[in-house]
Amino acid sequence: MSGVSSDELMAFVESLHRLLKDHSSEVEVRRLSQTPEGFDPKTWQALSALGVTGLIIDQDHGGLGAGPVELERVMEAVGASLLCAPLLSSAVLAPALLQALGNPEAKARLLPGLADGSRIATVAVTGPLGGWVAEHVAVEAKHSDNTWHLNGQASFVTHAQVADTVLVVAKTSAGLAVFEIEAKAKGVNICALPTFDHTLRMAEMEFANAPARRIESQRPVWDAVQEALNLALIALAGEQAGGARHVLDMTVDYVKNRYQFGRAIGSFQAVKHMATDLLMESESCTSAARYAAEALAANQADAPQSISLAAFACADAFCQITATSIQMHGGIAFTWAHPAHLYLRRARADAQLFGPPDYHRERYVQQLGG
Amino acid sequence: MSGVSSDELMAFVESLHRLLKDHSSEVEVRRLSQTPEGFDPKTWQALSALGVTGLIIDQDHGGLGAGPVELERVMEAVGASLLCAPLLSSAVLAPALLQALGNPEAKARLLPGLADGSRIATVAVTGPLGGWVAEHVAVEAKHSDNTWHLNGQASFVTHAQVADTVLVVAKTSAGLAVFEIEAKAKGVNICALPTFDHTLRMAEMEFANAPARRIESQRPVWDAVQEALNLALIALAGEQAGGARHVLDMTVDYVKNRYQFGRAIGSFQAVKHMATDLLMESESCTSAARYAAEALAANQADAPQSISLAAFACADAFCQITATSIQMHGGIAFTWAHPAHLYLRRARADAQLFGPPDYHRERYVQQLGG
Amino acid sequence: MSTDLVNDQALEAEVKAWLAEHWKPEALVTGEGFGRHPQQAFMTKVVEARWAVPTWPKAWWGRDLAPAQAKIIERAFAAVGAPGAGQDKSNLWANTAMAHATPAFKETIVPALLSGAVGMCLLYSEPGAGSDLAAVRTRADRRGDNYIINGQKVWTSGAAVADYGMLIARTDWDVPKHKGISFFFLPMKQTGIEVRPLRQVTNEAQFNEVFITDAIVSAENLLGPLNGGWGVLQTALAYERSVMGDAARGPRSGKDNPKGDGALIELAREAGRLNDPVIRQELAQVTAYKVLNRLNNARAKADMAQGTSSAIMSLGKLAMSRILHEEARLRTKLLGAASLLEGPDHPRAEDANFLSLNAYFTSIGGGTDQIQRNIIGERVLGLPKEPEIDREMPFRDVRSG
Amino acid sequence: MSTDLVNDQALEAEVKAWLAEHWKPEALVTGEGFGRHPQQAFMTKVVEARWAVPTWPKAWWGRDLAPAQAKIIERAFAAVGAPGAGQDKSNLWANTAMAHATPAFKETIVPALLSGAVGMCLLYSEPGAGSDLAAVRTRADRRGDNYIINGQKVWTSGAAVADYGMLIARTDWDVPKHKGISFFFLPMKQTGIEVRPLRQVTNEAQFNEVFITDAIVSAENLLGPLNGGWGVLQTALAYERSVMGDAARGPRSGKDNPKGDGALIELAREAGRLNDPVIRQELAQVTAYKVLNRLNNARAKADMAQGTSSAIMSLGKLAMSRILHEEARLRTKLLGAASLLEGPDHPRAEDANFLSLNAYFTSIGGGTDQIQRNIIGERVLGLPKEPEIDREMPFRDVRSG
């Protein structure tokens, strides 16, 4: 799908919307929220069949070979429907890291399974401190008897409890390296973390002398991790933009049809002006997410700051829109049965997943020369 | 007036309100804004006759001996009327510093003139950097031939261009000290600064080997300066509270009587809700200013943090209220002829005079143990 | 020595003696009872001894005392921790019944309410009548000596244990909306009333939905005039506002939270974020919101003690809404990635996330912030009302939903 | 090769040849002319050669060209920096006259407008009709072949140099407000029109008040039907919105300001505040507001280029209001005590303070932010309007002031 026309992209996204309408209804989202796995294997297969799990994987390895622009649009649809699936982990972070490391053997071995959905993978970077910086890596790798062994802790690992394979960033005596380890390997203990966003799965991993396979890299490992994170940030921004727009539409629809004092409440300035302000945030969110994707796709010089901008602007916009949406709905959105809080939970999770907005604002100033 | 009843205080403030109605009308404020002196000697005499210039000066030296509570209330009236006069300098900072230094000779020599308004004084603390911290003092004092001489620069000195006497905080080899110097003394150059708030007078002072009289202190000099600044912050908070309330009242009055679309614009939620939010800020501003005064008067343990709280809360409230007031008035307040901008200018000045809100927030956290 | 003073001293002696005889401090049980009181036997004695509502007339369980004298009684009860005094100020249910019930119904219901013998709930809000309470569509139709009630109520706490609900229902559909509402004490323990717990966004259920199908209430239980229920409701709401403090709950994790003005600073220290200058600015600002609200309330109380009415009082709920939302936001920021979590193993995250959601209890419940701004703008600042298009039209023509 | 393409190439050759013959680049003079153009002689040639409004009919100074072909002409003019092309899109005055003036008046006024021979101003707003333009009280009373105008207008730029003002005035007081307004080209150079500069809050005077006493305008100068002025105004306002970019001015001190997305960062560096983490967060946020608005506008233009209408376009003014107020706030914060000052010796303070005041030009002028939110909410989001109490009543009964 690299070099796809915008019509082709629209058609693909349209197919995905139809799939999600069937497979990611509110009822289904609520059902999956209560399962330990947090996703439906049949939906996962359907996503694979459409090409979503292999979206960014190159065509040689069974993927569509799409870029950031397509990824961002796909994630808008995902965000709108609150899809429960390990997409961010297995279709973005893991393949992006493998491709960034550029190790042909590892790519050939792992990417086809990720593309066809038969293998679920994730990436473990940060430790208990939770920052997406090299200093927070808390796993150490030691080499002895021709084997690498991992010791330490990784935390906030997305979808680790449903992963087959985990790519672990670990410290070695010669700097950071990436290790491949099976989730069921001995010495690996995966402990699910209870998440406020019930559509998200996340775990803590303990490594006790766990044997792992090192994936040699053609470039500095932290650069490769950054590249994967950048793609993950664009995916997240797309999810936020799609979620934000959906919540705005849902809210506008409600205030047009909810009558109090003999009038649709959307005719009251207090409500109308909140809606207008949310439109501004939603449009800005979409612009930021799409521009970051375009800038990265075109390898523009402003790609890094555009990604940081999207990271904090989209996080704040999605949070503000979902929070204000509850206020605009009034009492009905204070009930569990109303979907507004499901989006708020997702928004609050997305705002933290790969660093909070303040962190990205600080990076943005650095990237602008400050 | 120390230990005055609240009825007596009310009567005093009422007299002051009448005086200000006559002597500080909008026309008069606009006239004085254009004069180099920025105040009217007759009004100054009237204020002295009422006791305002000697408000906090002890009765032994011709003052009323009032405390922070009375000062704060008086300044509310001053703020409401935008009075143009060197009150903060000559009736607060200078006498407060003299009383804090506790030097009987200096008090006897200077306070009576300040109390009866025949002498105008101010205090020079900060240098070109503009911070109200000891490190920003940029005047040095050297002792030779039995005389002290000052060299260096003081800036943002309120009302220096109309002062007879300036109390200068300067560095000596043995730490900070306070020096008394006549504005007309040789080696003193006072250069008026153009202020955005046209009701304020402020100057830069250059000292070139200027002979000065040292005022010995009974206590660490910076403690005394802090004590004077605390009283000035309470006075400023009172001015902000009074100004904020006045602007709120003026704005509410306008939106009740301005009709568009066949309705008073205050009936529109957008305008009504802005007014309500300003009421919250105005009431909080008044509470903060009054409580800080009470806490200091009663020497409470929470006096320091209460003064910091008032410093940033009142500054922000006055700025927000005057800024929103212009928006609520619409086009009419975009004209020079409308008084809204006069209050905005005062609010912006007050927010910087003795340190900006961020500075006081930081202090507040420290005072709360952070 | 004035007669008044002599009387006051006698009163104080009398109440103290009575308490010494009847009150067993170890008997104190607390708990939210929705009108029903755990110490009912003692409460009955309080009512019989006329300590419960001393400012009420002697004919109605009172002593015709002045408020200042009533204070003597309240202080004496408070000194020993005994319940039951001061109900002339605090008992929403009894005051409403006293003011508006028929003499016959008052005779039975008021002592029951004062002695905590009956549980109560409020049947006001409906799915279609939230901000706009006057739009209630629950109907009360006369049949003989009774009214037949049909409709649905929501946000009702205590419904499952209540003996009566204070109900507003429509009794005339052909007049403007405020003029066709009546106010009833509806017996709750009857078929025709179904109470379903309402699961909140916080995954708790403190409220209920109440489905009412052909429930029966005696015409004797009508409070105030037929179709005059809006007026009764206004006095009941005024009592409610004056009695109920802010009901917003603090952290729920069970882990201790720091107290006082430095509480947020301690949380920042615990989270290792206290040295961050950005955090410090926000600590100052959110703490300021809390302290300023306290100072405002203190000033309001001082104003009212001096007899001047206070504009500030009504700002409290709006201020609390901002405090709660902002504190939740700051707590989230302090935690960073840790705020992704919840549950007993992650109490600080549990609290931050709970508070983020529960803040809406205050910003929506009891009138949204937006409605509250209308009320303050109109009642405190005297700003004109908006045109109300449905004020004068027959209710059956009003669009609602 | 298609006929179209051949035609296009011929057109391009023709316009280039014409420009080569008539345009002397060194002659370019710029300056705000309020309709009057400094290169009038050249402009007259442009009009006569039919380059000014090529999409208009041949009978009216045009060439009946499609917009895409008109673009060829505009590009050729732009390439050599010559003025006068593209007026079918940009000339508010001429478009309004072309659409609504009588044929006879058009014959004289339109070429004058296109060639920049006459100065123009807008006589819309009044002291009592700001947000609510339909409430104008300036009156136009018929007398013979003329109308006599009395009233007061405000916020008029260019009034002192204008030959005509586009005026809305009330011609029927007994019908609802929108239905009694007429639209005139009022000759400004007559006794009966007094122009007074209006001093702004920024201590400048870019606008005027216009006092009109028994001024005369020929009935020939009426645009559109009598009492149909509201419709004419709507098309004129639509032109104005599509033509005028954001007119807010930047810093005025004369001192160079850093450019680009890093501009605020450079100001912070200059002020010695760049290392303050609190400042850094705000630098990011205010810069983000600016960049996001640019990205939104780019997306809107791309949408429109694809023929889909864009909801985003209308957000620009509201976004700019926030940008200006927030940038002014941040610049003030960077300066600290230095922001107390103003004047040429303190250019950064002068700029911060000027911007603080001039931000209201955007948040109030051309429709307040509040009115703008109404418009966006209603036209973009489709939210229902408020009840308009004065929409149907005779204007003389409408309360105003």
DSSP string, D319-376: HHHHHHHHHHHHHHHHHGGGGGB-STT-HHHHHHHHHHHHHHHHHHTTS-HHHHHHHI
- Pairing state between β D193-198 and D139-143: unpaired
pLDDT score, position D185: 98
Report d(CA C123, CA B141) in Å as an integer.
78
Span A66-92, average pLDDT? 98
Nearest to C278 by CA among A284, D285, B185, D297: D285
Side-chain-facing half-sphere of C352: CA atoms under 13 Å? 27
Q: Which residues of A touch C333 (CB under 8 A)?
A: 356, 358
Residue A77 in tokens: 């649809």
Burial C330-353 (b: 16+ CB within 10 A, else e): bbbbbbbbbbbbbeeebbbbbbbb
- Pairing state between β D207-218 and D146-156: antiparallel
Span D290-297, average pLDDT? 96
* Mutate which: A260, A265, A268, A269, vs B, most B CBs within 10 A: A269
Span C302-312, average pLDDT? 74
Residues A205, A168 share a domain: yes
Write out pLDDT tens, residues A239-275.
Answer: 999 999 999 999 999 999 999 999 999 999 999 999 9
Report d(CA D63, CA D57) in Å as an integer.
6
> What is the DSSP secondary-structure string of A166-182?
EEEEEEETTEEEEEEEE
Q: How many CB atoms lie within 10 A of CB C105?
A: 18
In a domain, A252, yes or no: yes
Share of chain D above pLDDT 90, in %: 79
Q: Which residues of D touch A275 (CB under 8 A)?
A: 377, 381, 383
Write out pLDDT tens, residues A131-151.
Answer: 999 999 999 999 998 999 999
pLDDT score, position D363: 95
Q: Cβ separation of A270 and B268 shorter than 8 Å?
A: no
pLDDT surpasses 70 at C238: yes
pLDDT surpasses 60 at B1: no
Report d(CA B43, CA A340) in Å as an integer.
62
At how many degrees (to 10) do helices D103-114 and D40-48 cross? 130
Residues 6+ positions from A213 with CB-CB distance below 8 Å:
A148, A179, A180, A181
Q: How far is C256 from chain B (nearest CA, A)?
A: 19
What are residue C144's phi and psi, to 5 degrees? 65, -130
Interface of C with B in 345-384 (CB under 8 A): 370, 373-374, 376-378, 380-384
With contact defined as 3+ CB pairs under 8 Å, the chains touching D are: A, B, C
Q: Which residues of B touch C330 (CB under 8 A)?
A: none
Residues A129, A102 share a domain: no
Span D272-278, average pLDDT? 97
pLDDT surpasses 80 at B283: yes
Residues B364, B229 share a domain: yes
B159 lies in which domain range?
A: 121-219
Q: Which residues of A touch D385 (CB under 8 A)?
A: 267
pLDDT surpasses 50 at C245: no
In a domain, A346, yes or no: yes
Residue D118 in tokens: 């006459």
Span C338-346, average pLDDT? 96
Nearest to C261 by CA among B306, B359, B289: B306
pLDDT score, position D238: 80
Determine which of B39-53, B86-100, B245-259, D89-103 has the lowest per-residue pLDDT on average: D89-103
Residue B307 in tokens: 């003064």
CA distances to B40, B97, B344 from B89, in Å: 15, 10, 21
In a domain, B275, yes or no: yes
Q: Cβ separation of A268 and B270 shorter than 8 Å?
A: no
pLDDT score, position C89: 86
Residues B240, B151 share a domain: no
pLDDT band, residue D366 (cuts 50/70/90): confident
Residues 6+ positions from D134 with CB-CB distance below 8 Å:
D177, D178, D181, D230
> What is the DSSP secondary-structure string of D57-86?
-GGGT-----HHHHHHHHHHHHHHT--STT
pLDDT band, residue D245 (cuts 50/70/90): very low
In a domain, A289, yes or no: yes
* Residue where a domain terminates, one of A219, A246, A268: A219
pLDDT score, position C253: 86
Report d(CA D288, CA B234) in Å as an integer.
37
pLDDT score, position A288: 98
Which comes out higher in pLDDT, residue D281 or C24? D281
pLDDT band, residue D5 (cuts 50/70/90): confident
Q: Which residues of D touch A359 (CB under 8 A)?
A: none
Nearest to B155 by CA among D87, D341, D286: D341
Q: Nearest residue on chain B to C272, judged by CA atoms? A: B370
Which comes out higher in pLDDT, residue A194 or D31? A194
Helix, strand, coil shares, percent, chain A, to 5: 55, 15, 25
Residues B277, B198 share a domain: no
Write out pLDDT tens, residues D196-217.
Answer: 999 999 999 989 999 999 999 9
CB D131 within 8 A of CB D160: no
Give B92's DSSP letter: I
How many C×D Cβ pairs under 8 Å? 12
Which CATH number goes with the domain that contains B136?
2.40.110.10
Share of chain B above pLDDT 70, in %: 99
Span C17-35, average pLDDT? 78
CB D221 within 8 A of CB D184: yes
User: What single letter denotes the amino acid at residue D93?
Assistant: W
In a domain, A1, yes or no: no
Residues B212, B275 share a domain: no
Residues B277, B183 share a domain: no
Most confident of the ranges A3-12, C247-256, C359-368, D134-143: D134-143
Span A60-72, average pLDDT? 97
Residue D112 in tokens: 């004058």
Q: How many CB atoms lie within 10 A of CB B363?
A: 19
Residues 6+ positions from B331 with CB-CB distance below 8 Å:
D125, D130, D154, D155, D364, D365
Q: Cβ separation of B330 and D132 shorter than 8 Å?
A: no
Report d(CA C118, CA C110) in Å as an integer.
10
pLDDT score, position C32: 56
Residues B128, B240 share a domain: no
Q: Which residues of C touch D399 (CB under 8 A)?
A: none
pLDDT score, position A42: 97
Q: Which residues of A touch B275 (CB under 8 A)?
A: none
CB C37 within 8 A of CB C27: no
Q: Check if C285 contacts B (Cβ < 8 Å).
A: yes
pLDDT surpasses 70 at A1: no
Q: Which residues of D touch C281 (CB under 8 A)?
A: 278
Residues A333, A312 share a domain: yes
Residues B240, B331 share a domain: yes
* Residue where a domain terminates, one of B219, B253, B272: B219
Q: Indicate the SS3 state at residue C185.
A: strand
User: What single letter denotes the amino acid at residue C283?
Assistant: L
Q: Indicate the SS3 state at residue D53.
A: coil
pLDDT surpasses 70 at B190: yes
pLDDT score, position D25: 77
ipTM of the shown complex: 0.95
* Residue where a domain terminates, one of A166, A200, A219: A219
What are residue B219's phi and psi, to 5 degrees? -150, 170
Write out pLDDT tens, residues C27-82.
Answer: 666 655 688 888 889 999 999 999 999 999 999 999 999 988 999 999 999 999 99
pLDDT surpasses 90 at D32: no
Q: Which residues of D touch C386 (CB under 8 A)?
A: 386
Which CATH number goes with the domain that contains A46?
1.10.540.10
Who among C341, C353, C364 is closest to A331 (CB)?
A: C364
Residues A171, A100 share a domain: no
pLDDT score, position D6: 80
Residue C42 in tokens: 């003692």
Who among C291, C299, C374 is closest to B272 (CB)?
A: C374
In a domain, B1, yes or no: no
Who among B264, B277, B287 is closest to C295 (CB)?
A: B287
Share of chain B above pLDDT 90, in %: 97
Q: Cβ separation of A259 and C400 shorter than 8 Å?
A: yes
Residues 6+ positions from D23 with CB-CB distance below 8 Å:
D42, D80, D82
Q: What are the E-state strand segments in C71-138?
A: 120-123
Compute and round to an integer the Cα radius of gyration of chain C.
24
- Pairing state between β D164-170 and B147-158: unpaired
Residues A365, A236 share a domain: yes
**Please, what is the Cα angle at C19 between C17 and C25, to 5 degrees?**
140
Which CATH number goes with the domain that contains A273?
1.20.140.10
Span B334-338, average pLDDT? 97
pLDDT surpasses 80 at B332: yes
Q: Check if B202 contacts D (Cβ < 8 Å).
A: yes
CB A51 within 8 A of CB A45: no
Q: Cβ separation of B337 and D333 shorter than 8 Å?
A: no
Who among A270, A271, A327 is closest to C360 (CB)?
A: A327
Write out pLDDT tens, residues B104-143.
Answer: 999 999 999 999 999 999 999 999 999 999 999 999 999 9
Q: How many domains does chain A have?
A: 3
Whether the full predicted model's pTM is greater than 0.90, yes or no, is: yes
Side-chain-facing half-sphere of C33: CA atoms under 13 Å? 18
pLDDT score, position C249: 76
Nearest to D114 by CA among D38, D39, D43, D29: D43
In a domain, B307, yes or no: yes
Residues 6+ positions from C187 with CB-CB distance below 8 Å:
C163, C164, C215, C216, C217, C221
Interface of C with A in 21-80 (CB under 8 A): none
pLDDT surpasses 70 at C396: yes
